[in-house]
Structure 1
Amino acid sequence: MLQPTDAADAAEASPSAPPSAAIRPTKWGVIWLLTLTLFSALTVGGLLSPLQEAVKAELHLTDLDIGLLAGGATAIPIALLSLPIAWLVDHSTRTRLLIILASFWAIGTIGTAFAPNFAGLFAARLIAGIGAGTALPVLISLLADVCMPDRRGRSMLLVSIGAWAGAAAAFAIGGSLFGYLTSHPGAGLLGMTPWREVHLLVGVGAALAVLPLFLIKEPPRYEVEQTSVSLRLAMDAFWRRRKFLGPLLAGQLTGGMAEGAAAIWMGSLLIRQYGQAPGSFGGWVGAVILGSGIIGSIIGGFAADAAGKLKMRGAILLPAAIATALTIPAGAFSIMPTVTGFAWTLFALLVGGTIVNLVSSAAIAVLIPNEDRAVTLAGMKIAGTMVGAGVAPPLVVWLSTFSTGKWGLGEAVAIMGVVTGAMSLAGFWIAMRNAPQQVARDPNAKMIPAEA
């Protein structure tokens, strides 16, 4: 059985000690600031997408160059730095680390505005990716310690909506600013070309958004099993939980492949199969993405909290399993006979994916000890990035070689979506059966006070 730490004993004895895990209130002010921070990170991360054709023309880039800027420059920091940063999250001052990471993505975005060539642009995107690509474990770790376990799903609901709003804002803000600056030459700060001005303005906004983070005080750490854990011991702990984390990871990765395929091939499908033009589908696709993110976040947040109260093993993952089962048919969105059918099945797929992602994160925040949460999230993010960027695209291309005609790509996406959906359901079911007890409900769970 876990024993309280000396720090926790002292905290109980001191009238000025931090509140115990049983009675601590939810700090909604902190949660709103974390939401704003994630909104900033996702806006910066997606800002290049609506502007990349202008960037390509000015710097004489190739499609391969654009692919490296959009994918490689963000994937490299995630692959190399996620685990070390996650270990720092679990064993250092998280508020200070979040300020540093947020500063990175603001500096990288501003630097993008001044990049003279591909090398400079790639370097600036790398700097932005160091912050934006590795900040999620910091945010989840802080969020878990400013609210009770039975409210983490609802707290993550707000943060999840912030993430989807940021992804949508990258297109809305980037596209709108670019259009305005294009039609009003000289209206920007330094008389740059429009895409550079957009990055400069958004980068300055991201820098200003760092300032409120100085108001967040480092919260005490609750539900801790061990202190002073090395990265090796953290990985050992990950391995000990492999019967739970392995199926959970498999469920997330296979389910996410359908969403990844939608993100990559959506435009090509609409153009090739339905004769749509970018100007005709940009608005409604954006509405589908934002709407599904908001609705999925609301359902997932409340469902995670409600399921966590059920008297069954791994109950908190039940909403993820149900959402996966219900949206398996939506994996065939790419072969719907009409654009309307395509839109509604895509909406269903993305709602299910949002529920699954939020519930999975909530499960980690509740079932994994504090000192291992960030490393666990980082490991899953690395795997997700590698599968999403390295496996799903060539798999779809390979499957499409077995079909002919304009529907070949859509049939390949549909096959992968439905098959991986069934595999995802199996993964979540096995993870539920092997889920550990909720650390937060252990009456002897430790608490480490915040630094003075």
Structure 2
Amino acid sequence: MAVCTAAYVFSFVDRQILSLMIEPIKRDLHLTDTQFSLLSGLAFSLLYSFMGLPIAILADRRSRPLIISIGVAFWSLATAVSGLSKGFVHMFLARIGVGVGEAALSPSAYSMFSDMFPKNKLGRAYGTYSLGSFIGGAAAFVIGGYVINLLKSVDTVALPLVGEVRSWQVTFLIVGLPGLLLALLVFLTVRDPDRKGLKRDTDGGVQKVALRNVFAFLWGHRKTFASHYLGFSFYALVLLGMMAWTPAFYIRAFGLTPTQAGYLLGVVVLLANGSGVLFGGWLIDMLARRGHPDAAMRAGVIGALGMVVPVIAFTQVGVLWVSLVLLVLAMFFASFPMPASTAAMQVLSPNQMRAQVSAIFLLISNLIGLALGTTLVALVTDRVFGNPKMVGSSLSIVYGLASVLTIVLLGTGCRHFRRSLALEKRDAEAVKGIPAREEGAAR
């Protein structure tokens, strides 16, 4: 679990490092806010989302550590290649490569953890793993800020075999190449746990699960998964959007340098998001111990309720420390969905399709959260306000609406989730030969 969490740290360093360097990248590659949002959102999420499903099919059938190892090596090389970009198209293709590699990690890790931990500890397990994303996000801000400050008086750096590159390009190389060593560590140290909770036929044999079976399972619980997938996707839109656009907001609204913004936001992400994701995991397990079968969904609703006001307000105050206090609150509650969304899927889904169910969620979540969320802010800034300094108002509008949608969708989803759990339990008892409860009682 520690090695997988370390891989998650590296994935978010490589994913998040782009947002801190928005101004020098825009300047050197001659980009608009909308084009930059495509690099940070659509380029990454495009194949990250769609490659997740075929990779997840492999993860439900083959060695999950091997799949993770290959993914880590691929995204690390793609991150380093981002540092060699000479234009928008080059950078776009490199970011697609980062997304393809990272698509291998979470579905495989989620599936392994469900075989390693009992259900009453899954919330904390996923919370601990998810902590890696915020350690990585914080590290990206701090490392990026340090390198930018180190090379602030240097226009170009001469590198062997590469030639002259800008300081932001050096940053990509620094954070990308060490991932190759991590890929080797995953391959050498992580063992695939025995698969537990396999769904069986009436004769006791393990069911063969094809992709059509996964979609049939989702359709059988369509109200539950519609609420889950869409609710947590809008939740992700808020979290990932703030991670992408908050540096630009503080640089433009309060005149911070990239280095100052990097150090400041690194601390915020590490403390606020890190404590939020651990608290969210603990809350899920606490609610489960108190007899709430919809504990994961319920924790998501609580987080969204706590998030909605500060996420709107932190860009609308003119005092830096007040804005930061509100940002800390917003980031704390915005971290709840990471363990909550995962725990809900793994508890409900049969073993043979857990990675695939997760991959479909990540496909939808990232298309909405990354591709749509980051681009909507840019479009409102560019097309509605026509002023880059109004990015704060764009954040309040887009993420305020997304927070309200999250509350509505997850709130209605709790009831559907309880019903789905009852139906799955009834079916499992019937297969084992235990007299099934009447449908009304199960509901």
TM above 0.5: yes
Q: How much does 1:59 deviate? A: 4.8
Name 2:93's counterpart in structure 1: 123
Bigger drift between 334-343 and 55-64 goes to: 55-64
Q: How much does 1:103 deviate? A: 1.5
Q: Which amino acid in 1 is paired with 2:355?
A: A
Name 2:203's counterpart in structure 1: none
Q: How much does 1:183 deviate? A: 5.3
Correspondent of 1:327 among 290, 307, 324? 307
Does residue 414 of structure 2 align to residue 429 of structure 1? Answer: yes
Distance (Å, rounded) in 1 between the aligned partners of 2:377 and 2:10: 32
For the residue of structure 2 that corresponds to 1:220, the secondary structure is: coil
Deviations 1:107-133 (A, max 9, x none): 212333444554443333222220124
Deviations 1:62-104 (A, max 9, x none): 5555343322321221232122112221122212211111121
Distance (Å, rounded) in 2 between the aligned partners of 1:418 and 1:284: 25
Deviations 1:247-281 (A, max 9, x none): 12232133334435534553565567x54434555
RMSD, matched Cα: 3.6
Correspondent of 2:236 among 230, 240, 256? 256
Deviations 1:259-315 (A, max 9, x none): 35534553565567x544345554333322221221112212222222222324323
Deviations 1:387-422 (A, max 9, x none): 2232675389669969x9978546635752553353
Distance (Å, rounded) in 2 between the aligned partners of 1:36 and 1:268: 27
Distance (Å, rounded) in 2 between the aligned partners of 1:410 and 1:137: 30
Bigger drift between 214-223 and 338-347 goes to: 338-347
**How many percent of aligned residue pairs carry the same amino acid?**
24
Give the alignment's TM-score, normalised by structure 1. 0.79
Q: Which amino acid in 1 is paired with 2:325?
A: W
Judge conservation of contact 2:56–2:108 (CA < 8 Å) in 1: yes
Name 1:390's counterpart in structure 2: 372
For the residue of structure 1 that corresponds to 2:289, the secondary structure is: coil
Q: 1:182 to 1:209 in 2, by over 3 A?
A: farther
Name 2:353's counterpart in structure 1: 372
Distance (Å, rounded) in 1 between the aligned partners of 2:215 and 2:284: 27
Q: 1:59 to 1:277 in 2, by over 3 A?
A: closer
Q: How much does 1:157 deviate? A: 2.3
Judge conservation of contact 2:127–2:338 (CA < 8 Å) in 1: no
Does residue 209 of structure 2 align to residue 224 of structure 1? Answer: no
For the residue of structure 1 that corresponds to 2:131, the secondary structure is: helix
Matched ranges for 1:42-191 at <5 A: 42-60=12-30, 63=33, 65-181=35-151
Name 1:241's counterpart in structure 2: 221
Distance (Å, rounded) in 1 between the aligned partners of 2:157 and 2:377: 46
Name 1:303's counterpart in structure 2: 283
Judge conservation of contact 1:73–1:126 (CA < 8 Å) in 2: yes
Judge conservation of contact 1:137–1:377 (CA < 8 Å) in 2: yes
Distance (Å, rounded) in 1 between the aligned partners of 2:33 and 2:304: 35
Distance (Å, rounded) in 1 between the aligned partners of 2:411 and 2:316: 24
Q: 1:438 to 1:239 in 2, by over 3 A?
A: closer
Name 1:285's counterpart in structure 2: 265
Name 1:420's counterpart in structure 2: 405
For the residue of structure 1 that corresponds to 2:53, the secondary structure is: helix
Distance (Å, rounded) in 2 between the aligned partners of 1:104 and 1:90: 20
Judge conservation of contact 1:42–1:166 (CA < 8 Å) in 2: yes
Q: 1:182 to 1:152 in 2, by over 3 A?
A: same
Judge conservation of contact 1:137–1:378 (CA < 8 Å) in 2: yes
Distance (Å, rounded) in 1 between the aligned partners of 2:171 and 2:261: 23
Bigger drift between 87-96 and 57-66 goes to: 57-66
Correspondent of 2:333 among 352, 366, 372? 352
Deviations 1:22-81 (A, max 9, x none): xxxxxxxxx000011111111112233334544454455555553433223212212321
Distance (Å, rounded) in 1 between the aligned partners of 2:145 and 2:278: 28
Distance (Å, rounded) in 1 between the aligned partners of 2:12 and 2:18: 11
Runs of 5+ unmatched residues, structure 1: 1-30, 447-452
Name 1:197's counterpart in structure 2: 170
Q: Which amino acid in 2 is paired with 1:416?
A: L
Q: 1:109 to 1:415 in 2, by over 3 A?
A: closer
Name 2:440's counterpart in structure 1: none
For the residue of structure 2 that corresponds to 1:419, the secondary structure is: helix
Judge conservation of contact 2:8–2:136 (CA < 8 Å) in 1: yes
Judge conservation of contact 1:331–1:421 (CA < 8 Å) in 2: no
Deviations 1:147-167 (A, max 9, x none): 222222222222111111111
Give the alignment's TM-score, normalised by structure 2. 0.80
Q: How many residues align?
A: 414
Runs of 5+ unmatched residues, structure 2: 201-206, 433-443
Distance (Å, rounded) in 2 between the aligned partners of 1:345 and 1:434: 37
Q: Which amino acid in 1 is paired with 2:79?
A: T
Deviations 1:204-228 (A, max 9, x none): 2010111111221221111121533
Distance (Å, rounded) in 1 between the aligned partners of 2:431 and 2:139: 40
Judge conservation of contact 1:288–1:347 (CA < 8 Å) in 2: yes
Judge conservation of contact 2:235–2:334 (CA < 8 Å) in 1: yes
Distance (Å, rounded) in 1 between the aligned partners of 2:27 and 2:319: 34
